Amino acid sequence: MKNWILLFLKGMAMGASDVVPGVSGGTIAFITGIYERLIHAIKSINFANLKLFFTGHIREFWKNIDGGFLVCVVAGIGVSFLSLAKLITMLLNTYPQYVWSFFFGLILASTIFVGRDVRWNWKTILAFLIFAVLSFFITSPENAPLSQNDSYWYIFLCGAIAICAMILPGISGSFILVLLGQYAFMLNALSELQIMIIAVFALGAVVGIISFSHVLNWLFDHFKQITLAALTGFMFGSLNKIWPWKETLQTYTDRHGEVKPLIQSNILPQIDTTFWISILMILAGLVIIFAIELIAKKISKPQETNAVETNPTTNE
């Protein structure tokens, strides 16, 4: 029961981060140690296992797709979207610099955390640099978004691309939707329950995530160290997007009539009270990640000890 509750809470953390245009749920999955399991579970939703479901082999289907794990994580994401997401959006509107500072600390600590598991050599360093530069340019706050497009084929494509970004550490699906010009459009469709638009977007998301999970799973199986280095680079490059100190170059008016930043530029901070509060928020983000790591080690250690006692080995 404890494990299911923990998975639910990890799902909530993923959902809360995904609503922010700049923070990826994939990053939170990586931080909390469920990333590879999540990718493998999604990959397992394939034709062979779906055939088991439709032919009545429910228990085998459930086991093959790691159903309990998926339900806990997805339920946590859903609850977060309905509750914590609203709180984070409110805080982002009221205290944007402090919220970005906190997430900056989270992502910085995550980059260090994941990078420690990489065996660094010229190949992994090259992968890190390439994907850090790629992420830096993709997530640049100065990128101008495309024009909104309500064609069904484009909505399907946006769903497929956004969901892939959501499971990539360092790149936010929400931010990708902003760049594609569909973020406000999809929020409006959700709020007004425009079923056809939501269904097309969801279909694109399902196709995208199942296809992309196969690619990621293959990469982890065959090039794990290079993949880890590339994902570390993604996270490091995305710090460009969530740099707390920004200057707004262009704004837009959302569906509620509120003026919000559209294009921004990163600037150097001024040393004042808000600067020091922002630094404290960055430190809080750093501390939380390493605290999670420490707690996870303490939880897993007794389990490892029990496993050894249950399966003793003898040297003859």
**pLDDT per residue over 19-63, tens digit each?**
665 567 777 787 777 888 888 888 888 888 888 888 888 889 899
* 241 pLDDT more than 80: no
pLDDT of residue 55: 85
Phi and psi of 246, rounded to 5°? -135, 155
DSSP 118-174: S--SHHHHHHHHHHHHHHHHHT-TTPPPPPP---HHHHHHHHHHHHHHHTSTT--HH
> Domain spans of the chain?
2-298
Phi and psi of 103, rounded to 5°? -70, -35
Which residue blocks in the chain are alpha helix, DSSP H? 2-18, 25-31, 35-43, 47-54, 58-64, 67-82, 84-94, 96-115, 122-138, 152-166, 173-179, 183-191, 195-222, 224-238, 273-310
Which whole number is the average pLDDT over 93-115?
82
- Joined together, the tokens standing for residue 24 give 């990826």
- b/e 240-260 (16+ beta carbons within 10 angstroms → b): bbbbbbbeeeeeeeeeeeeee
Q: Write the CA distances from 208 to 10, 159, 163, 203, integer angstroms.
A: 22, 7, 7, 8
pLDDT of residue 2: 64
pLDDT of residue 315: 45
* 221 pLDDT more than 50: yes
* 40 compared with 148, residue with greater pLDDT: 40
Which pLDDT band holds residue 308 (cuts at 50, 70, 90)?
very low
* 96 pLDDT more than 70: yes
Q: CB burial class (10 A; 0-12, 13-18, 19+) of residue 68?
A: middle
What are 105-141's pLDDT values in tens digits?
877 887 887 788 789 999 999 999 999 998 888 777 6
* 282 compared with 147, residue with greater pLDDT: 282
Nearest Cα neighbor of 237 from 282, 175, 170, 176 is 170
- Joined together, the tokens standing for residue 223 give 């090039």
- d(CA 316, CA 305) in angstroms, rounded, equals 22
Q: Which residues contact residue 243 at a Cβ distance below 8 angstroms, ignoring those fewer than 6 apart?
A: 100, 104, 141, 266
Q: CB burial class (10 A; 0-12, 13-18, 19+) of residue 23?
A: buried
Q: Are 93 and 259 in contact (CB under 8 A)?
A: no
- Joined together, the tokens standing for residue 189 give 């469709």
Q: Which residues contact residue 75 at a Cβ distance below 8 angstroms, ignoring those fewer than 6 apart?
A: 8, 11
Which whole number is the average pLDDT over 136-163?
79
